[in-house]
Structure 1
Amino acid sequence: MTSTLLIVQIVLALAITVAVLLQKSSSIGLGAYSGSNESVFGAKGPTGFLAKLTFTLAFAFIVNTLALGYLYTTANTASVADSIVPANNAAVPAAPITPASTTPTAPAAPTVTDNSVPTNNTVVPAAPTSEGTTPAAPAAPTAN
């Protein structure tokens, strides 16, 4: 059925093209080749007939396009995008990943080891000086 409607669509497109080109315009178009046909269509020439024919063909073209669209969507339920495989073969998650716990947690307290770099509010004992005494440790910060 769709192949028949597709052939009708092509014939209608060609018929509309010919009907439009046969109409008289400022540059005459293909109407210059049909000079002897003016007596067949009456005193006014083919303008009324070709205008009605063009409208009828355009209406049939639109109806045929809608019918083709309806038949195509009912016959094909799959999309072309469903068959596309990503280049890196990465799997797309089906649903967004939610965190296990939604309650905020406090940050962990910093730990100090012998080889660690001092961070905020940590006191590292100073190394002994050449005189054998250790300098006084800096005072711990006080909270306001």
Structure 2
Amino acid sequence: MTTSFLLIVQIVLVILIVIAVLLQKSSSIGLGAYSGSNDSVFGAKGPNSFLAKVTFTIGFLFVVNTITLGYMYSKSAEESVVDNLTENTNVVAPAAKETNTSK
């Protein structure tokens, strides 16, 4: 249950970080041109400082979530279905039947 929630959070973080990177100003204007006047929304310095902080924060959360998911999956991988099966059952081979081959 917890790993599925963290996996959904991971997907949302990926989408958010892609959007944050695409909105940043590059050598060409990029997708930031379609958002209108950014100076009034993000303050006097413009979107560069704000989007850089958002990108860093989302990137940090992405890395922390990735490490947490890796730890949780490695813990669940320590137990094997086969190990649990052999510990709980006693398998006894059937006795061999004698066959009469002297006809």
Amino acid at match of 1:40: V
Offset at 1:6? 0.3
> Partner residue of 1:43?
44
CA RMSD for the aligned pairs? 1.3
Q: Which structure is higher in helix share? A: 2
Segments of structure 1 that go 5 or more residues without pairing to the other structure are 80-144
Matched residue count: 79
> Partner residue of 2:25?
24
Amino acid at match of 1:71: M
Higher Cα radius of gyration = 1
Aligned residues: percent identity?
70
Higher relative contact order (CA 8 A, sep 6+): 2
TM-score, length of structure 2 as denominator length: 0.72
Segments of structure 2 that go 5 or more residues without pairing to the other structure are 81-103
> Partner residue of 2:91?
none
Matches within 5 A, 1:126-137: none
Could you list the runs of 4 or more consecutive aligned residues of structure 1 that deviate by over 3 angstroms after TM superposition? none
Q: Deviations over 1:24-53 (max 9, x none)?
A: 011111101112232111122111000000
- 2:79 and 2:27 map into 1 onto residues whose CA distance is 49
Amino acid at match of 2:54: L
- 2:11 and 2:39 map into 1 onto residues whose CA distance is 28
